[in-house]
Structure 1
């Protein structure tokens, strides 16, 4: 049997590069690896289903799953995870604490993106700032006119408006037209930044460590998806993909321990790895459903509570059944 030729679009990460280099093979598959930014992948995946296999926004995928019209089937390979305490910027001349955001304007590139679901959940649970307490302004981070990639119908108590034509949420923040900025990227403020724009949390890394210590949650941003029509025709495919992506991730983590010659161009890699394992355990970036059930369930709770999924999804709806168990020798 000839290998199945598939287009696979993912971010250019240490945990995906072994698939492109051939260090990890996908059983029965001849992959065309395409490295793109997640934003482009998500836009093309949900608008025109351009890829056979691709990285997916967890939030957008859940919107489509709740609507019953997702063209992709999920696999529990979580290509992107991040604590989002570092994605909150404010006008420091006005906002000193998270509670100061009540009644203020906060810009978002899209209301439904995964990073913002987690950030809103954290603000509500830890600081008592509900989504309805904030006036939301939607616009591109550095380019005007960014739309929601998937349609959402928000609760009546959510106040959201589009940024004025020709403006970005970065420019509005710099001009003082909004009070805060919530996104997975830093605001585009130009060289030297802005004297009155800074992070809401002075030390977001320490704040995130405290969050993990209290909750045990390492937020999931992206999962892997395979075109539903392909799975119907080739039911072996999800297992083969999960096996390969897991092996690629394990190679990447293993490379971090080779401190004689660092594989990443960053000092203090070994200390960061030791700190991560001391706080989060040896498998600090787990794939698979069971190891991530608590985190996924928390996300699904907030996704529905924020009005993004029209029904409360269960964890077991998200992934192909064959990906729950893997072969062990």
Structure 2
């Protein structure tokens, strides 16, 4: 872990957020961060910034994937979760296949190869979770073929994870190196164009998952460096309040789909349930080594909602 730089109370907070309707009001100052100066940094694409955050503590406050946060916490990276869901959705449709390939059921994947960007990718976490929960398929029943490393440097992949030389997950599928592929929402509309869900009724299966659990899978959350939370809690609170207001102000720009409803700020039963399920999935998949106490996570930032 890199040595933390010295923090000065008057320095602007360095904040890394993706570009969404609910983050733009902060970046264009439509919603001011009253009480704190902020430098909103950019990264295109976003994933390299996630790695920089958990490897170098490169930002004061940073958007981060759920699985990356759980792995960073497990590795002792000094960051604290803030109760904000920036991106989320269901993921039964994220398990894809070639449209002209053989139809496969989830049980057909046992003993086969499935492509995924990284074994630590959050979409993969949720997909492997429902595969085990609904079909009894353990992570070790499949060979997971990856195109990238995990964000957290301290983590070593299990023996059933293999690294490919391909740069894109969809190319693994098109070259027939894998029989199915896990693609996130943006990839489905990009490199995965033309691919079809493995499950023929994926949308309804995803909705049934949310009804059964009373929550929506979160993909991207928000963390703050522990030293910043300790030395500048008022600045962190100012940023959090502004983001919470921006999320509320842009509610009309989001539809009633799971992705639209997932975006939220504040500790809630839904968020706590989401973290509990995600942490359980992560432990089952050997992404983390120890059970997670969500109440302990909440306690560190509970003051934000008081």
Q: Same fold (TM over 0.5)?
A: yes
Q: 1:303 to 1:310 in 2, by over 3 A?
A: same
Match of 1:178 in 2: 178
RMSD, matched Cα = 2.7
Please tell me whether the aligned partners of residues 73 and 79 of structure 2 are also in contact (alpha carbons under 8 angstroms).
Answer: no
Please tell me whether the aligned partners of residues 65 and 318 of structure 1 are also in contact (alpha carbons under 8 angstroms).
Answer: no
Q: Distance in 1 between matches of 2:261 and 2:189?
A: 32
Report deviation, 1:320: 6.0
Answering whether residue 78 of structure 2 is matched by residue 78 of structure 1, we say no
Answering whether residue 279 of structure 2 is matched by residue 300 of structure 1, we say yes
Q: Distance in 1 between matches of 2:268 and 2:167?
A: 44
- Any residues of structure 2 matched to 1:107-256 within 5 Å, and which? 107-139=115-147, 146-150=148-152, 151-154=154-157, 159-163=160-164, 165=165, 168-184=168-184, 185-186=187-188, 193=194, 197-255=195-253
In structure 2, runs of 5+ residues without a counterpart are 1-8
Please tell me whether the aligned partners of residues 65 and 219 of structure 2 are also in contact (alpha carbons under 8 angstroms).
Answer: yes
Of 121-130 and 86-95, deviating more is 86-95
Match of 1:312 in 2: 291
SS in 2 for 1:47: helix
Report deviation, 1:189: 5.4
Report deviation, 1:311: 0.9
Please tell me whether the aligned partners of residues 3 and 28 of structure 1 are also in contact (alpha carbons under 8 angstroms).
Answer: no
SS in 1 for 2:215: coil
With the length of structure 2 as denominator, give the TM-score of the two structures. Answer: 0.85
Match of 2:66 in 1: 58
Q: Distance in 2 between matches of 1:293 and 1:216?
A: 11
Q: How far does the alpha carbon of each residue in 1:104-161 deviate from its partner, in whole angstroms, 9 at most, with x for none?
A: 100111101211111100111112222111111111xxxxxx3222142455xx5121
Q: Which has the larger radius of gyration?
A: 1
Match of 1:289 in 2: 267
Report deviation, 1:38: 2.9
In structure 1, runs of 5+ residues without a counterpart are 140-145, 257-271
Report deviation, 1:179: 0.5
Report deviation, 1:203: 4.1
Paired residues, number: 292
Q: 1:243 to 1:167 in 2, by over 3 A?
A: closer
Match of 1:28 in 2: 35
Q: 1:97 to 1:118 in 2, by over 3 A?
A: same
Please tell me whether the aligned partners of residues 289 and 324 of structure 1 are also in contact (alpha carbons under 8 angstroms).
Answer: no
Please tell me whether the aligned partners of residues 14 and 40 of structure 2 are also in contact (alpha carbons under 8 angstroms).
Answer: yes
Match of 1:17 in 2: 24
